[in-house]
Amino acid sequence: MELTGTVIALLPEVTGQGKNGMWRKQEFILEIPSQYPKKVCISLWGDKIDQAGLQVNDSVTASIDVESREYNSRWYTEVKAWKVDKAGSAGAGSAPAAGNNKAGNSPLPSVTTFSEDESDDLPF
C-alpha cells in the first residue's frame, strides 16, 4: 500500500537492545491531502531512517505495511514504511534520458499543418 502526503513532524529517534541486537526506530507524521486531511504516524526502522533522510515539509510517497499485535489482551497497530520516495526523486532519473533525445527521436508525433485552402475541404 502507498500513502502520499507531506511530512508535518519528525518524532525523536528511539533506540533499544533486543534479543537480536541493537535496534533503531523513528516515527514521522504524514498528512494526506483530501477534503478532510488525514494524519498518519509511520515508523521507519534501522538503516531506512538514514536512507529516507526526511525533513519537515518534504512531499513523500511511503510504501507501507500495516501490522497489529496483541499484548495483555490489547491490540496495538503499527504502520511500517519499507520504502520512502521524496517527490521528484523517482522522476529525476528518467528526466535526463528524455532530454537526451535527438531531433528526429521525439516521443511525440509530428504536427501536421494545413494551409487555409485545405481547411475548406471538409465534407460537412
Say if pTM beats, i.e. exceeds, 0.75: no
Residue 41 pLDDT class (50, 70, 90 cuts): very high
pLDDT, position 87: 83
Spatial CB neighbours of 106, under 8 Å, sequence gap ≥ 6: none
More confident residue, 108 or 56: 56
**Whether domain 2-87 has CATH 3.40.50.300:** no
Residue 7 pLDDT class (50, 70, 90 cuts): very high
Sequence spans of domains, the chain: 2-87
Point out the least confidently predicted range of 29-38, 47-56, 106-115: 106-115
Residue 100 pLDDT class (50, 70, 90 cuts): very low
Q: What is the 3-state secondary structure (H, E, C) of the chain?
A: CEEEEEEEEECCCEEEEECCEEEEEEEEEEEECCCCCEEEEEEEECCHHHHHCCCCCCEEEEEEEEEEEEECCEEEEEEEEEEEEECCHHHHCCHHHHHCCCHHHCCCCCCCCCCCCHHHHCCC
**pLDDT of 38 over the 70 cut:** yes
